[in-house]
Each structure stands twice: as structure tokens, then as C-alpha cells.
Amino acid sequence: MGHTSVLSTRRISPRGSPPNLRRTPPKFRKVLVLKEKRPAEIEDPVMDELLLSSKLKRVDSATGCVSPRVASSDALPIPAPTTPRQAQKAPKTPYVILPACDAFEKFRSIRRVSVDIGGTLIKVVYSSVTDEELPEESLNGNTRKYAYEDGKRVLVNFKKFTDLDRLINFLKEIWTDRKSGDTIHCTGGGSYKYSEIIMKELGVRLQRTDEMRSLIFGVNFLLSTNVDESFTYHHDAVGRNKFQYRPIAADLIYPFLLVNIGTGISILKVDSPTSYERVGGSSMGGGTFMGLGSMLTPAQNFDELLEMANRGDHRNVDKLVCDIYGGAYDELGLKADLIAGSMAKCNRFGELPKKQAHKPEDIAKSLLLMVSNNIGQMAYLYGTRYNLKRIYFGGYFIRQDPITMRTLSFAINYWSKGEIEALYLKHEGYLGAMGSFLDEDGKLDD
């Protein structure tokens, strides 16, 4: 799928700036504004995950059902991003406050630690106790009780690692009072592969939770605990209108499709908190984007590759319908700028080496579109097959990146003619770790 709109810049005051330009300093800053047709497509910079902690726009709807690509004007006042000091220093992912209830009371005295060791990344979810005043108003009307009688609250924190040694060092640092009877909760392939080393290094027991169960338990918990956990993305809207959440009644959440994009992709049909099925999967996921990206560009890590993609113009490397037809293929409804063949302009057979050198940014962009388009279409097909109206995308691949979300949303909206809605999650990469965090006895709730 191609994108017709291109961007130019204009200056506006910081107050009206879109949330993903937070790093740009003072008074006036450049903001990208959509205009019709210009040669090069420039995208917004990669977004900082923290921004989504409190800057979503609320959109109310009577039914909780799909209304594709709407920008409602009935926004509630959005609280200032009053993240506590420790959150401003390091974390990229907003903490969650656990409701003050019997089930979680034990976390006031015992630290709960959970790790999801996947094919690429290690995600950690751990509890901490604070007596700091926290911005409960940012829970947007959620009336649960969060503070215990002594004013203390239990937080759930999120952190990711790329390396097992660093994970173990980090856990040794934060979990100093651990005892041999304590348990580390674990999920993902590494909960099998690395169980011995984790138990030996930390001197604790390991409790494993099945990866799919963890994903489902995690997403269920986050959706039902965080009123604004999920959001829709509207690329062409301005400012915080780009990110809209719509509170949804618990009984309307189900059924839905969960597409978890990690190294590979798992697709789950979720009928209720305890009834789900892994209906499909694909090997063309985040690992593919990183693997091919590292072979085809000089990027040194995922962030560099993603940032490169955000600067690239895929039309220099992709063959579009107009490159083949000279314009649109109207009989099939294929627009002129639709991608006909990803990277098809890179074919160098029979050419002198280096004659057709392509910019790494353009290749990265093409690659991101190729992977995301493919996932979007696959998600749509599964959604249609099971007659589901909402598709939640999880996994660390998404990174709340504008191109990725735009492509996925565009694909779902385009193919389903607005019937199916694409939704994203603030804690996208932590569903599995969150689920295993909540697992009391290795069984979760049946």
C-alpha cells in the first residue's frame, strides 16, 4: 500500500504541537503538516514511548464499537504529564498502579518479579512500593482505590534488556532481600532455555507460565485496569488527536484479535479472559525487519534502523503501480502510488556493481512498509475469518512508531472498508511479562 500524502513544515507554538515532537526545544519548533503531493515523503520523528503515558485524547462513543478514523471534538481535559521523578529519569514505559485490594496486598511486603525472555528481547515487570503522591487523576475517572490505609501504593514497573547478564545484574541490584524460597515468574522461550542459569545466579525458584497464556492474561489485565491502555492512531490528525482512546465497557472488550509482533508473530482470537486460541502465526515479524535491516543498511541497532526508516522515501526502491502502468490500474482500483513490488527497483542483475546504489534510509523505509503491510493484511484476513471487529497489536516491534501504526491502521481500514478497527497498547511489549507477573501458581485462572 502506498501513501499519497506528503509533508511540509510550518511553525506553530509548542502548546499546539503534536505529542511526538516532545524533544524539540523551546519557543517555536518545526511541525510536520500534511499537504497534497510533493516528491519526498518525510515522516514525524520516532515517538518517545513515555509520551503516551498521559497524552491520549479521549473519544467517547455510546456503543464502544467501531467508528473508523473519526476525530471527535468532545475531548476531556487531559492531565499534565506529571510522571514521578524516577519515571522521568529512566523509564520509557509508564508504570501501572495496582488497585489496593486483597489480591495485591502481598506486594507491599514481597517484591514480585517477572521476566519474559523472547527471541530478541528480555522484558521485566517488577513491583515497587511508594508513598509518593501519584497522579491518580491520570486514570481518567477510574474510581478504584489505589492507596492503602498508610498511604502506600504498589507500582508495577517495566524495563527491557537485550542481554541476559545485564538482566541478572539488574535483578541482583533491585531484589536485594530475595530469599531461596522466593519465586521469579518467567515466560517466553527463555523460561525453558535459561531456567537453570537464572535460578543459579539469583538463588530463587522459577515459576513458568505458558507464553500464550501470559500474553492473554497480560492484555486482559491491562485493558481492564488501565482505562486508557489502548488507543487508535490517526496519522493525518494533528497533535494529540493522533492518539485517541475510547473507554470501553468490560463486557464489550471481547471478542477481539491479538496480533503480537515480536521476533515472530502470534495471532490469537480472544473470546473472554479465559477462552482464547492461537489461530495463526508468521515468521515475518520484528526479527525480519531487524535482520534484513542490519544486512541492507549500516544501522547499528533497532532504534537507528527505525529512525532511518522514518527519514526514507520508499518510492526510490519500491516499484509502484505507476512505475508499471504509467498511472493507476483503475479496473482493479489500484492507485498509482500503491506499492506493486517491495524493493523491486533494487534489482541489479546485469548491472555494473554500485550503478544503482540505493540510500539506506529508503531501503529501511521500504522494509518497514513491507513488513507492516504484510502484517496488516494478514491481521485483516484473520479478523474477517473470525468476524472480529477489533484487532489489538502488541509486541515490541511496534514501538508506537508513526509509520508502523499508520501502515497497520491503513491496511486494516482499507481492506475492511472501515469495519475493523486497529488498536495499539501503551504496554505493547510487556503483555507476556505482565501476564506472568500476575500468575500465582503457574496456572492462572481457568
Ligand X SMILES: CC(C)(CO)[C@@H](O)C(=O)NCCC(=O)O
Ligand Y SMILES: Nc1ncnc2c1ncn2[C@@H]1O[C@H](COP(=O)(O)OP(=O)(O)OP(=O)(O)O)[C@@H](O)[C@H]1O
**Site for ligand Y, rule CB under 6 A:** 118-121, 162, 188-189, 262-264, 286-287, 289-290, 302-303, 395-397, 399, 429
| 263 binds ligand X per the rule CB under 6 A | yes
**Which H/E stretch holds residue 289?**
helix 286-296
Binding segment for ligand X among 151-159, 281-289, 329-337, 416-424 (CB under 6 A)?
A: 281-289
| 395 binds ligand X per the rule CB under 6 A | no
Binding segment for ligand X among 35-43, 214-222, 264-272, 363-371 (CB under 6 A)?
A: 264-272
CB 98 within 8 A of CB 221: no
> 171: buried, middle or exposed (CB in 10 Å: 19+, 13-18, 0-12)?
buried
Binding partner of residue 283 among ligand X, ligand Y, none, CB cut-off 5 to 8 Å per kind: ligand X
CA-based radius of gyration for the chain: 22
Contacts to ligand X from residues 204-233, by CB under 6 A: 211
CB 369 within 8 A of CB 315: no
CA separation for the pair 97, 155 (Å, rounded): 5
CB 139 within 8 A of CB 73: no
| 291 binds ligand X per the rule CB under 6 A | no
DSSP 394: E
Q: Least distance (Å) from ligand X to the CB of residue 300?
A: 24
Identify which of residues 66 and 121 has a Cβ nearer to ligand X in the complex.
121
Q: Least distance (Å) from ligand X to the CB of residue 233?
A: 24
Give Cα 330 to chain centroid, integer Å.
Answer: 35
Binding partner of residue 410 among ligand X, ligand Y, none, CB cut-off 5 to 8 Å per kind: none
Binding partner of residue 243 among ligand Y, ligand X, none, CB cut-off 5 to 8 Å per kind: none
CB 157 within 8 A of CB 90: no
CB closest to ligand Y, residue no: 118
CB 155 within 8 A of CB 98: yes
Q: Least distance (Å) from ligand X to the CB of residue 214?
A: 11
Q: Which residue has the cell 502502468?
A: 325
Binding partner of residue 135 among ligand Y, ligand X, none, CB cut-off 5 to 8 Å per kind: none
Binding segment for ligand X among 11-19, 29-37, 90-98, 263-271 (CB under 6 A)?
A: 263-271
Which residue of 119, 141, 203, 418 would you call a contact of ligand X, by CB under 6 A? 119
Helices (H), 228-329: 250-253, 286-296, 302-311, 321-325
Which residue of 17, 266, 288, 409 would you call a contact of ligand X, by CB under 6 A? 266
| 264 binds ligand X per the rule CB under 6 A | yes
Task: List the beta bridge partners of residue 130.
Answer: 153
Dihedral sign from CA coordinates of 177, 180, 181, 182:
positive
Residue 84, all three cell numbers? 514521578
| 3-state SS, residue 219 | helix
Binding partner of residue 281 among ligand Y, ligand X, none, CB cut-off 5 to 8 Å per kind: ligand X
Binding partner of residue 302 among ligand Y, ligand X, none, CB cut-off 5 to 8 Å per kind: ligand Y
| 138 binds ligand X per the rule CB under 6 A | no
Q: Least distance (Å) from ligand X to the CB of residue 193?
A: 11
DSSP 170: H
Helix axes 431-438, 211-225, angle to 10 degrees: 90
| 281 binds ligand X per the rule CB under 6 A | yes
Q: Least distance (Å) from ligand X to the CB of residue 258?
A: 12
| 151 binds ligand X per the rule CB under 6 A | no
Cis ω before 360 (30° cut-off from 0): no
| 3-state SS, residue 204 | coil
Binding partner of residue 397 among ligand X, ligand Y, none, CB cut-off 5 to 8 Å per kind: ligand Y
- 153-161 vs 96-97, strand pairing mode: antiparallel
Q: Least distance (Å) from ligand X to the CB of residue 280?
A: 7
Identify which of residues 220 and 266 has a Cβ nearer to ligand Y in the complex.
266
| 189 binds ligand X per the rule CB under 6 A | yes
Binding partner of residue 293 among ligand Y, ligand X, none, CB cut-off 5 to 8 Å per kind: none
CB 225 within 8 A of CB 435: no
CA distances from 294 to 165, 306, 370 (A): 23, 11, 15
Instruction: Report the interface residues with ligand X, using CB under 6 A.
Output: 118-119, 189, 211, 262-266, 281-283
